[in-house]
């Protein structure tokens, strides 16, 4: 199984979860060090490993290789060194108990930072 930390539209109940859902073997809550930014219909993640004050809550999905490929396609990830919309990097949960892949946006310059650590909370507030 492959662990992937999701924090935006791939979360259970969000708009793109159906892409991963057929391949998900388990879902566990998680938290990583980072900051979220608003790209419009989805968030961007900036990792902040050295800043323990900033964190992002999400879920660890356990998927098979087909699930990882489906998420790669959604995130525009074509492999190391390719022209990717998102990069896929290895990350560890703040608890130290889980590690796996996460998709990060290459630049957050000019994007509005999301107040808080949860895309679900932020997105629910935007639609009111």
Cβ–Cβ under 8 Å, residues 4 and 90: no
Tell me the pairing of strands 2-6 and 99-104.
parallel
Q: 21 CB contacts (<8 Å, ≥6 apart)? A: none
- Which is the catalytic residue, given 14, 62, 75, 85? 75
Q: Are strands 2-6 and 87-92 parallel, antiparallel or unpaired?
A: unpaired
State the Cα–Cα distance between residues 68 and 74, nearest whole angstrom.
Answer: 10
Q: Is 75 a catalytic residue?
A: yes
Return d(Cα 98, Cα 72) in angstroms, integer: 20
Residue with token string 């968030």: 43
Catalytic residues: 75
């Amino acid at each position: 199984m492959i662990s992937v930390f999701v924090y935006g539209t791939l979360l259970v109940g969000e708009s793109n979860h159906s892409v991963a859902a057929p391949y998900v073997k388990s879902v566990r809550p998680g938290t990583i060090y980072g900051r979220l930014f608003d790209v419009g219909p989805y968030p961007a993640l900036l990792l902040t490993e050295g800043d323990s004050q900033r964190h992002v809550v999400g879920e660890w999905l356990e998927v098979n290789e087909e699930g990882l490929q489906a998420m790669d396609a959604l995130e525009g990830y074509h492999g190391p060194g390719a022209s990717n919309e998102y990069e896929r990097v290895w990350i560890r949960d703040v608890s130290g108990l889980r590690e796996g892949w996460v998709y990060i946006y290459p630049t957050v310059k000019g994007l509005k930072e999301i107040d808080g650590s949860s895309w679900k909370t932020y997105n629910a507030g935007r639609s009111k």
